Amino acid sequence: MAAPAINKPATESKTQALTLGKALNLGLRTAMEADPKVIVMGEDVGKLGGVFRITDGLQKDFGEHRVLDTPLAESGIIGTAVGLAVRGFRPVCEIQFDGFIFPGFDQIVSQVAKLHARTQGRVKVPMVIRVPFGGGIGAVEHHSESPESYFAHTAGLKVVTCSNAVDAYWMIQQAIQSDDPVLFFEPKRYYHSANMKADVDTSAKPYPLYASRVLRTGTTATVVAYGPSVKVAMDAATAAAEEGKSLEVIDLRTLSPLDLAPVYDSVRRTGRLIVVSESPSEASLSSEIAAKVQQECFYSLEAPVLRVNGFDVPYPPAKLEEHFLPDLDRVLDAVDRSLGW
């Protein structure tokens, strides 16, 4: 059964300035209104509205059987969502923090990812697993991680991430509408950033879900980023412009499947690529992007693809995270190294 279209006839343009968190909340609400099979489940998502308040007010308005405060077990959340999806629901699971997804890893890799192929397409698993991810919030262990590469590595899963409020509003609805299971990574440090508020036009035509997007055009070098690193890349581009360097910034948005056509186009023009991500670099999405770009753009490259990543260490205590996280200076340093090759 096809999911209902999320675009209602645009009778009137309705634009509101929203934070990323509020945009997600509105996107979830809109999806729940459009399709009674959409249910939200997770720890503290009901009365509390989630520890980040992304599901605020949903239980009050849709009831306890569409917004489930689940027992405290991630494997249980994911595993029962599979059953609900098989039964015809569209579960949206909330994992409270990135580092808590691993009890559910078995269900994600063994069932969520493989059911469709196992049944030769007879069983669909249209579920969304929302994961607040990334660092920069001064938290204790397991609350600041970037585990997206594990999931991008797993066949059968779609993996996406939003970097701004407009994408947050649309992408969560598109992910819910997708007939494939989607890991939906949310840059938690920007949930409530007032200076990242954006005008969300709920009557607009959304950008496709599984497509990366050029956010800023440039000629000196290409910077690819996703999720929380997009703002870092954009800030770096602004700073570089003051030095006369023109950086092209691409927001990947979709991590699996990767949409690298805009990256290839860009690198063929700039000859240089810097990939920015908070995740450790070894065997990561950054590695995959570097490999594909050298394969597709070999004769255009003026320098090796450089990666600006978190280090290959456990995410450090909060007082050290500013050194762990890619920042504007490390991106600019990579640009300089690329130019100096």
Partner 1 sequence: MSSPETWTHPEPREGPAATAAAPTAEQVIAGLRATSEGGPELVQLLTPEGERVENPEFDRYVADVTTEDLRGLYRDMVLVRRADREANALQRQGQLGIWVPLLGQEAAQIGAGRAMRTTDMAFPSYREHGIAWCRGIHPKELLGIFRGTDNGSWDSNATRFHPYCIVIGNQVLNAAGYAMGQRFEGKVGDDNGEATMVFFGDGATSQGDVHEGFVWASVYDAPLVFFCQNNQWAISEPTERQTRLPLYQRARGYGFPGIRVDGNDVLATLAVTRWALDACRHGNGPVLIEAFTYRMDAHTTTDDPTRYRLSDELEAWKLKDPIERLRVNLVRHHDADQDFFDSVQADADALAVELREFCFNMPEPPIEQMFNNVYAEASPVLDAQRDEFLSYHASFGGEH
Residues found near partner 1 in the complex (CB under 8 A): 33, 36, 43-44, 46-49, 51, 57, 60-66, 69-73, 75-76, 99-100, 102-103, 138-143, 282, 311-314, 316-321, 323-324, 329-330, 333
Element spanning 262, H or E = helix 261-270
Between 112 and 250, name the residue whose CB sits nearer to partner 1: 112
Which has the closest alpha carbon to 186: 231, 237, 225, 134?
134
Between 118 and 323, name the residue whose CB sits nearer to partner 1: 323
- Give how far Cα 67 sits from Cα of 7, 40, 41, 45, Å: 23, 5, 6, 7
CB of 44 to partner 1, least distance (A): 5
Between 213 and 330, name the residue whose CB sits nearer to partner 1: 330
- Residue 4, CB half-sphere, CA atoms under 13 Å: how many? 15
- List the end-to-end C-alpha distance of the chain, in Å, as a whole number: 54
The side-by-side arrangement of strands in the sheet containing 254-256 is 67-69, 38-42, 90-94, 128-133, 182-187, 158-161, 254-256
Between 248 and 321, name the residue whose CB sits nearer to partner 1: 321
Which has the closest alpha carbon to 285: 207, 183, 139?
183
Dihedral sign for Cα 45, 46, 52, 54, please.
Answer: positive
Which has the closest alpha carbon to 258: 212, 193, 326?
212
> Which one of the listed residues 143, 153, 192, 323 is annotated catalytic?
143
65 a catalytic residue: no
CB of 323 to partner 1, least distance (A): 5
CB of 274 to partner 1, least distance (A): 15
φ and ψ of 291, to 5 deg: -65, -45
Between 51 and 204, name the residue whose CB sits nearer to partner 1: 51
CB of 75 to partner 1, least distance (A): 5
Between 116 and 307, name the residue whose CB sits nearer to partner 1: 307
**What DSSP assignment string belongs to 67-134?**
EEE--S-HHHHHHHHHHHHHTT-EEEEE-SSGGG-GGGHHHIIIIITTHHHHTTTSS----EEEEEE-
CB of 32 to partner 1, least distance (A): 10
**Token couple for 249:** 């910034």
Please identify every residue annotated as catalytic.
143
